[in-house]
Structure 1
Amino acid sequence: MRAPGRLANLRRIQSLDPEVDFDEIVRLTARFEFPWDYVQGTGIAFMRDYGIPSIAGLLDRTREFEDHGVKRYDDTILVGDEATLDGIDSPRSHAALRRLNRIHGHYDIPNDELAYVLATTIVGPVRWIEAYGWRPLDPHELVALTRVTTRFGELMGIKGLPETYDGYLTLLVDHERQHFAATPEATRLAEASIRIAREVAPPHLRPLLRRVTIALMDEPLREVLGLPRQPEWFVRAVRAGLRARGRLLRLATPRRTAYRHRPTTYPHGYRLEDLGPVAMLDELNDPHRKAAHA
């Protein structure tokens, strides 16, 4: 059983060419069909980065998660929004990705790590929707998500990116098989991320948020982050609850307005110039320095 019109967006997606209309398909998928799921899947996926010791070490040294956690969380989502709201090759997107590249340019990040982090941003939401979404993803959606992800990476200067979703999944699995390792930095980052999530969550969700977050992790991720194992009954209950939510959403009317992130850091709106590490903002926004780094 489904609500009237529940499959209207899916039919629209199936009528489009994912090799050409990828921006529109991703907009429908991420902002209308699965907005909450997409955000949750991305959030869990970002924590996979901490399982790579060199990535965890760099993120830990910046202290952005400890000192400016909610801003770091908001800025990450907003850069993604800026890159996709008008299309991945729009002037707005290119401006956002130039800024992201300037931020990353302060650090010596190898190509394979940038590619791995990019892979988490597509594999995470897809895995989540496969497990808890109200319907399966259509093949058109997987192709469109892959096209946008790859173009995002190309604009970041990442080389040798996959051309299919399965290619990104293989990239992620292979990189983790070679590099996943528990470190104190990984645990600190994971706990800081959970504190950030608790801070931005509705008050009634905060008491159990840490335990629920851990329960949603696969065992390799939980172990590499050094987080405590949750009782099996609790893990089953959390996951069953999310699957039940997915079934109930089949009865919901389609979303009529596109989802937009509401940043705690910028309650009255933001500009691109606001985004980035606090310590870098003057340099990022100085036109003379910008020219020097171009």
Structure 2
Amino acid sequence: MFLILLGALITYIAVVRYYRYQYVNNLKRDYPDPDVILKNGKIAQEIYCQTFRKEFPLISRESVEVALFKTFTSPTVSKILVSTRELEKHPLRRAEDTELILSEIIDVYPRIQNQLMENRKVSSMETAKQYERAEMSIHRLNELHSKYPILNDDYIFTIALFVNEPIRWINAFEWRQLDIREVNASAFFKVWYDIGHKMNIKDLPDTYERLMEFKKEYEERGVRYSPSNWKVAQPTLCLLYSRLPRFMKPVVRGALPCFLEKVDRQAFGLEEPSWMMTQLLHGILRLRANFIRYFLLPRRQYWTRTPWQPEQNGKYMPTFCIYGTVYPNGYRISELGPAKFGPKCPVMLH
């Protein structure tokens, strides 16, 4: 009996391993030259979405949250955010607006693929509407940013964090490391590079290596301690605490430095993390990674929060909530962002 159970376990692990690595093995076969993907935005978007929304959805999402948090280490960014008082007064809405706008931009391909996986026909008109939503979201992002005196270098630094943090987190804490096609090509760079151009960001580095060189140089001159850094970071942490039992608050506060780099800790005025806490937290995440690698079959559908189509009221209802319900009746892309910058007249959706 024991041998039968052992054989069944070994067979199951072998099946999981085959399907777990099927995608990345196919990727290497289909694109033997990784640089090819950098020249094709459509392929780059598909790889990015597969990596970000299907292979590693949880760690990818958390890494982007950390990337946003790390933008507060720059006083030129944090002082603008403090002056608006938006994060202080409406942290939940700011977090939800940011995630929904970015998801509307990124999730076109995943939404279409999810429909096809459910054996639903997707017409060319429906496909065009999905891409139209992405363009509307970039327009809305530009519209909101134009209200504030944001420096061009701060934009590039933010793009660099959006590119680098998922790579850093996935390679450290997920069940496998990223293939070079998922770094170069994986659109981790290509997709954000294209978005940066649509946001009219000037002098955006055109390779991953140059972008990381810019990030390092920016951190040396622009990331430094300022009281405004932590002032704008605190509401974000309080939002995180709201999801957890009260006794977990000091644990999270003690864990935060373990996931930040030294330059970030210094900019926030945080203490160095304890070796024991760092090893414990990293060990837990590695256990999770090993459990996924050996025992969980890959997810079938893409992980998205943005729905395929609007409700009867013309608004999009998020597929699930994370911190709390901000839009109980759904949202319109033109209404995302601070209420004071909302449309001044009713918006009709085509």
Root-mean-square deviation over aligned CA pairs: 2.3
CA-to-partner distance for each residue in 1:234-283, whole Å, 9 max, x for gaps? 12211222122222221211011211243332355332133111221245
1:199-210 → structure 2 map (5 Å cutoff): 199=242, 201=243, 203=245, 206-207=248-249, 208-210=251-253
Residues 65 and 12 (structure 1), Cα distance of their counterparts in 2 relative to 1, 3 Å cut: farther
Q: 2:131 aligns with which of 90, 104, 122?
A: 90
1:1-294 → structure 2 map (5 Å cutoff): 3=16, 4-14=18-28, 15=30, 18=37, 19-20=39-40, 21-86=43-108, 90-142=131-183, 143=185, 144-199=187-242, 201=243, 203=245, 206-207=248-249, 208-251=251-294, 252-261=296-305, 262-263=320-321, 264=324, 265-283=326-344
Q: CA separation in 2, counterparts of 1:205 and 1:35? A: 28
Give the C-alpha shift of residue 205 in structure 1. 8.9
What is the identity percentage for the equivalent residue pairs of Structure 1 and Structure 2? 26
| Equivalent in the alignment of 1:290 | none
Q: Which amino acid aligns with 1:106?
A: K
Normalised TM-score (structure 1): 0.89
Give the C-alpha shift of residue 50 in structure 1. 1.2
Residues 205 and 167 (structure 1), Cα distance of their counterparts in 2 relative to 1, 3 Å cut: farther
Residues 13 and 69 (structure 1), Cα distance of their counterparts in 2 relative to 1, 3 Å cut: farther
- Compare 58-67 and 205-214 and name the one that shifted more: 205-214
Q: Is the 8 A contact 1:87 1:93 kept in 2?
A: no
* Unpaired stretches in structure 1, ≥5 consecutive residues: 288-294
Give the C-alpha shift of residue 107 in structure 1. 1.2
Structure with max Cα Rg? 2
Give the C-alpha shift of residue 164 in structure 1. 2.1
Give the C-alpha shift of residue 177 in structure 1. 0.7
Q: Is the 8 A contact 1:37 1:125 kept in 2?
A: yes
